[in-house]
Amino acid sequence: MGKKPFIVGNWKMNLTLAEGVEFAKSLGNNLHGKNEIMCGICPPFIFLKDISKVLEGSGICMGAQNIHSEINGAYTGEISALMVKEAGCTHVLIGHSERRHLFGEIDSFINAKIKTALSVNLKPIFCIGETLNEREEGRTKYVVKKQLKNGLMGIDNKCVEELVIAYEPVWAIGTGKTASPEQANEVHSFIRGFLTDEYGKDIANSVYIQYGGSVKPENTKELIAQTEIDGLLVGGASIKLESFLKIIDAASIQ
Ligand code: PEP
């Protein structure tokens, strides 16, 4: 599709602040002048401010791993879209499968979070994907369509253009099992088709669709070579600088 690959690392609940800062510094040094790719990292909330300072001027963007759907209020322990924006985020993961499955987040809550993120100019990385059961029962497309429809309900065309969609089959996250490039591309095509039907071809083509699920240096090239895969969302392999850099390198050479 002629887009620069967009590679994002999701650190989840890993690393110390010192390790994260060191990682961000080295990442910036290694990517200096590398214009053929876009890169981002999603550190834990409490690292955001420090890492944002390190990333300044590097061209590497920073995302939060979550936000609440409300901008402020009595939500003990939660973090708002404005807070992560103030800490330097341009992006935010919304609807990650760990949030859906471990913390019971449902489509309507995810939809509200996407709207809130957009309202403060944070770009959502909207995660969707089927479980192993759903795939085995032949319900992958049904599930993905339902997540898209519910997650994007009431969001207008202009806002949809701001989104990144991450297709992350739940059975491939943190399991070492990657969807084959063909399996991933088939679902990506389906997502692109959905966006075309709902918002038109131009918007559908401009939306980045990332693949996520046990991405590693060894499978990056094949995945990114797929026509409908515009980028990658990387979990486990993004917390080691060496493997994240190898993924970025492999995605840059096409
Ligand atoms: C993720 O957390 O979004 C993810 C894809 O994890 P992993 O790469 O470890 O499967």
pLDDT of residue 199: 96
Inform me whether the pLDDT recorded for 10 exceeds 60. yes
pLDDT of residue 58: 96
Q: Which of 184, 69, 165, 173 is nearest to 125 (CA)?
A: 165
- Examine the residue annotation and report whether 96 is marked as an active-site residue of this protein: yes
Inform me whether the pLDDT recorded for 1 exceeds 60. no
Inform me whether the pLDDT recorded for 2 exceeds 80. no
**DSSP of 108-158, one letter per residue?**
HHHHHHHHHHHHTTPEEEEEE---HHHHHTT-HHHHHHHHHHHHTTT--HH
Question: pLDDT for 19-73, tens place per residue?
Answer: 999 999 999 999 998 889 999 999 999 999 999 999 999 999 999 999 999 999 9
- Examine the residue annotation and report whether 136 is marked as an active-site residue of this protein: no
Using pLDDT thresholds of 50, 70 and 90, give the confidence band for residue 254.
low
What is the SS3 assignment for 232?
Answer: strand
Residue 79 Cα to ligand 1 midpoint, Å, equals 22
Residue 96 Cα to ligand 1 midpoint, Å, equals 9
**Cβ pair 208, 224 in contact under 8 A:** no
**DSSP of 35-64, one letter per residue?**
-S-EEEEE--GGGHHHHHHHHTTSS-EEEE
Ligand 1 and 234: CB distance under 6 A: yes
The model's pTM: 0.97
Residue of the nearest CA to atom 4 in ligand 1?
235
Cα four-point dihedral sign 199, 146, 225, 253 = positive
- To test the ligand 1 pocket, which listed residue (168, 238, 239) has its Cβ within 8 A of the most ligand atoms? 168
| Mean pLDDT, range 110-138, rounded to an integer | 97
Residue 73 Cα to ligand 1 midpoint, Å, equals 31
| Mean pLDDT, range 150-174, rounded to an integer | 94
Residue of the nearest CA to atom 3 in ligand 1?
235
Helix axes 140-151, 107-119, angle to 10 degrees: 50
What percentage of residues in the chain have a pLDDT greater than 90? Answer: 93
Residue 82 Cα to ligand 1 midpoint, Å, equals 26
For residue 13, with 0-12 CB atoms within 10 Å meaning exposed, 13-18 middle and 19 or more buried, which class applies?
exposed
Structure tokens at 79: 């973090």
Which amino acid is it at 142? Y
Torsion of CA 41, 111, 106, 133, to 10 degrees: -70
What percentage of residues in the chain have a pLDDT greater than 70? Answer: 99
Question: pLDDT for 194-227, tens place per residue?
Answer: 999 999 999 999 999 999 999 999 999 999 999 9
pLDDT of residue 34: 87
Helix axes 181-199, 140-151, angle to 10 degrees: 40
Inform me whether the pLDDT recorded for 96 exceeds 90. yes
Inform me whether the pLDDT recorded for 91 exceeds 90. yes
Domains of the chain, first to last:
6-252 (3.20.20.70)
Ligand 1 and 215: CB distance under 6 A: yes
- List b or e across 75-112, with b for residues whose CB sees 16 or more CB atoms inside 10 angstroms: eeeebbbebbbebbbebbbbbbbbbbeeeebebebbbb
pLDDT of residue 22: 98
